Amino acid sequence: MKLYSTLDKKVKEIEPIKKGQISIYSCGPTVYFRMQIGNIRAYVNWDILHRALLYLGYDVKRVMNLTDVGHMTSDDDFGSDFGEDRMDKQAQKEGLQPLDIANKYINAVLDDFRALNILAPNGEIIPEDLNHKGVQEYGFTRATEYVEEMIEIIKKIEENGYTYETKQALYFDVTKIKDYTIFTGQNLNEKEVGVREEVGVDPEKRNPADFVLWMKRYGKYENHIMNWESPWGNGFPGWHIECSTMGTSLLGERFDIHTGGVDHIPVHHTNERAQNIGAFGHSVVKYWVHNEWVVNKDESKLSKSKGNAPYLPNIVKLGFDPMDVRYFLLSKNYRTRIQFSIEALEGARNAREALVRRLRELGDTKGNVIPEYIERFKKELENNLNMSGVLALINELLKEDFPKEDILATILDFDKVLALDLEEAITKKEPMEFPSEVEALLEKRMLAKKEKNYEEADRIRGQVEEMGYKLLDTPEGQKLEQV
């Protein structure tokens, strides 16, 4: 399997730490509101990665965090330690407690994952009855359940000489990490421009790029709702320490892959990597892998705050199937920006429906998979998840002279990774369409029955049957069957 390693800035052959096993930590959502389609892209992309690794025979150990404390709002690419806590902000807006907000939107995340066939991190299908109470069993980790472990990791970082304390917070001193900006190649002085205003917020902060490990209930955070006791005073953890803690607690001091969005690179993952070195004396993650944005027609990023990012339920209300959304998001490589528009989504729907129609034409009997195409499919997956190559392979196979039932079996085998519910789609009966004259007669008959004019109703029944249809009266109303 080859993937693009952000740290190495090239596509690399993935060599697992343990032969045959891949360990993955996926940055999950901050559960203060619904996920928009830009957020969802990451989880479809990494579900494809997860399914591909399983298909290729790897034993996959994966976890995904759910951030329910400590993630501050920020309008720039440099992050902010002194913004508003997203959980607190939404809790005040909705008149709920922060944990109630978290529980509400964890349930919404699970609904979206189920609708899009996204596996739980432990590789299982997410049960219909799973809610916020049982997520940890399925590989989801909640930040609030790991605060004690965060405190222990911070103690290690402090003991190793990477921190300093002010009246307001315990900071990580980024100057102690020689290659702190290795992800971006940025000069630290350039990075400081974006966070300089925070020096004014805490005058004891030494370097503008230093970041919070533990925020005290002091100043603007004096009345912060979510808080815990710690060696540095009552307060709450910084955002970045959560992932370092949960990743190493569940996957160990060294694991294979860390996934996330490109927006995580300049701050969140830069700081996470620094913390890992501060705590353990070495890098923890072997391969950092990032997906690109979903953008508007003008190439601007989709954003909740700007109101230009649709949510899955809204898209479904427009008449799209969740599988149209999945097809749209998987049709491009994870490293390519996707331009979102209703027209683009319609194109994905048309392509998916055309595929389903062509599969229906193959019949309803499954044969044997075609080894040559299974091997070619695996090669496309191993080639940096080349999904455009996979879709081209399907189109090529549909034109081949192999037995129809073997072509069908092979493409349905591909669907173990695509997860487009192709077998269900091709067996689902499409609603029958009837000529407008027949529809008009049905409306007249319904009116006749309502007026208790049964003679007229019987006459219309005879007309309908003369046109080649059998008319049935059922508890759900009139139904037609073509004779």
Q: What is the CATH number of the domain that holds 229?
A: 3.40.50.620
Mean pLDDT within 431-437:
71
Of 5-14, 289-298, 323-332, 462-471, the range with the lowest mean pLDDT is: 462-471
Phi and psi, residue 38, nearest 5°:
-65, -40
129 located within any domain: yes
Predicted confidence at residue 190, as pLDDT, reads 67
Query: Is residue 333 a contact partner of residue 375, using CB atoms and an 8 Å limit?
Result: no
Q: Do 7 and 130 fall into the same domain? A: yes
Mean pLDDT within 22-26:
98
Q: Above 50 in pLDDT, residue 76?
A: no
Domain-ending residue, one of 243, 275, 291: 291
Q: Do 421 and 448 fall into the same domain? A: no
First vs last Cα of the chain: how many Å apart?
Answer: 54
337 located within any domain: yes
130 located within any domain: yes
Q: Do 348 and 251 fall into the same domain? A: no
Q: Above 60 in pLDDT, residue 54?
A: yes
> What is the rounded distance in angstroms from the CA atom of residue 391 to the CA atom of residue 393?
5
Secondary structure tally for the chain: helices H, strands E: 17, 15
> What is the rounded distance in angstroms from the CA atom of residue 381 to the CA atom of residue 51?
10
Domain-ending residue, one of 240, 275, 291: 291
Q: Do 274 and 401 fall into the same domain? A: no
Q: Above 60 in pLDDT, residue 156?
A: yes
309 located within any domain: no
Q: Do 126 and 48 fall into the same domain? A: yes
Q: How far is CA 148 from CA 65, 225, 228, 339, in A?
A: 16, 18, 9, 42
This prediction has a pTM of 0.88
Q: Above 60 in pLDDT, residue 164?
A: yes
CB within 8 A of 187, min separation 6: which ones? 181
Q: Do 268 and 341 fall into the same domain? A: no
Mean pLDDT within 79-101:
85
Q: Do 202 and 348 fall into the same domain? A: no
Identify the domain containing residue 47 by its residue range.
Answer: 2-291
Q: Do 119 and 224 fall into the same domain? A: yes
67 located within any domain: yes
Q: Do 183 and 273 fall into the same domain? A: yes
> What is the rounded distance in angstroms from the CA atom of residue 411 to the CA atom of residue 68?
40
Q: Do 210 and 359 fall into the same domain? A: no
> What is the rounded distance in angstroms from the CA atom of residue 170 to the CA atom of residue 152?
14
314 located within any domain: no
Q: Do 377 and 456 fall into the same domain? A: no
Angle between helices 322-330 and 342-360 (to 10 degrees): 100
Predicted confidence at residue 194, as pLDDT, reads 43
Mean pLDDT within 146-151:
98
269 located within any domain: yes
Domain count, the chain: 3
Q: Which residues are paired to 5 by β-bridges?
A: 10
279 located within any domain: yes
Q: Do 261 and 146 fall into the same domain? A: yes
